[in-house]
């Protein structure tokens, strides 16, 4: 991949964002980093993360919509590959080359966190239930379907474009990839857990199980 972009959705990530983007810029040009400020207060100031591009939602629309905004911008700028990563610092930027390299052989690459004891127990249990449910319902062989760290070829975007506006986007994207018979690979990554209660909740997981059943008939 010769022109890979990295899309980073953020919501109230605060002062740690510039340091994260500095590390990302070690692996892709700074101008190929797209930060989507999903209604943060205070807002992400463009000069604080330059040369990365900042796109802003005036109100919080959810992770799914932030990712869509960033991907559409990257495609307009000629991206041939797009890497998606969270802005909370739990995805290690040093994994970016591994994801991009794997795209030489497949359409979409999913990162897989180690589901060990360093992962909060609620997340670990929820991930296992979701992984097994997706395997049973869709024959989708992923060890960490809810990990948002991934990369795909730009020509695959129309096939995986999602409707979910929240954290369910990660799972919907994977199911759409399977429905369109895209080739995929999963690569292991290291993950840093800053906050056991940040992000998805038990209720989110239960709602996603319901969506998995519904998507079986509507996607």
CA distance 18 to 30: 11
**What is the pLDDT at residue 85?**
97
Q: By three-state DSSP, how is residue 201 classified?
A: coil
More confident of the two residues 144 and 200: 144
**Domain of 124: which CATH number?**
3.90.550.10
Question: Which residues make Cβ contacts (< 8 Å) with residue 71, sequence separation at least 6?
Answer: 7, 82, 84, 157
pTM of the model: 0.89
Question: Which residues make Cβ contacts (< 8 Å) with residue 194, sequence separation at least 6?
Answer: 88, 89, 90
Lowest mean pLDDT among 5-9, 75-79, 135-139, 167-171: 135-139
Please tell me what DSSP assigns to residue 177.
Answer: H
Q: How many domains does the chain have?
A: 1
Alpha-carbon dihedral sign for residues 145, 141, 113, 132: positive
**What is the pLDDT at residue 196?**
45
pLDDT tens, position by position, 131-173 = 787 778 878 888 888 889 999 999 999 999 999 999 899 999 9
Other CB atoms within a 10 A radius of the CB of residue 191 amount to 18
Which residues on adjacent β-strands are paired with residue 8? 35
Note down the domain range covering 46.
4-218
* Under 8 Å between Cβ of 55 and 34: yes
pLDDT tens, position by position, 81-132 = 999 999 988 899 999 999 999 999 999 999 998 765 455 555 666 677 777 8
Question: Which residues make Cβ contacts (< 8 Å) with residue 28, sequence separation at least 6?
Answer: 4, 5, 6, 83, 96
Both tokens assigned to 12 = 């109230």
């Amino acid at each position: 991949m010769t022109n890979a972009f990295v899309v980073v959705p953020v919501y109230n990530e605060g002062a740690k964002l510039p340091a994260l983007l500095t590390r990302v810029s070690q692996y892709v040009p700074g101008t190929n980093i797209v930060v989507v400020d999903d209604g943060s207060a205070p807002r992400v100031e463009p000069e604080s993360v330059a040369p990365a591009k900042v796109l802003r939602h005036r109100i919080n629309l959810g992770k799914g919509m932030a990712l869509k905004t960033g991907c559409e911008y990257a495609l307009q700028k000629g991206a041939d590959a797009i890497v998606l990563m969270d802005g909370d610092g739990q995805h290690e930027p040093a994994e970016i080359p591994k994801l991009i390299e794997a795209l030489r052989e497949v359409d979409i690459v999913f990162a897989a966190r180690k589901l060990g004891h360093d992962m909060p127990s609620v997340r670990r249990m929820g991930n296992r239930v979701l992984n097994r449910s997706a395997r049973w319902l869709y024959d989708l062989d992923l060890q960490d379907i809810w990990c948002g760290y991934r990369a795909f070829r730009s020509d695959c975007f129309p096939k995986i474009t999602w409707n979910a506006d929240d954290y369910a986007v990660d799972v919907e994207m994977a199911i759409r990839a399977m429905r369109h018979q895209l080739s995929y690979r999963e690569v292991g990554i290291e993950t840093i857990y800053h906050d056991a209660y940040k992000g998805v909740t038990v209720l989110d997981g239960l709602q996603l199980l319901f969506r998995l059943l519904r998507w079986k008939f509507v996607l």
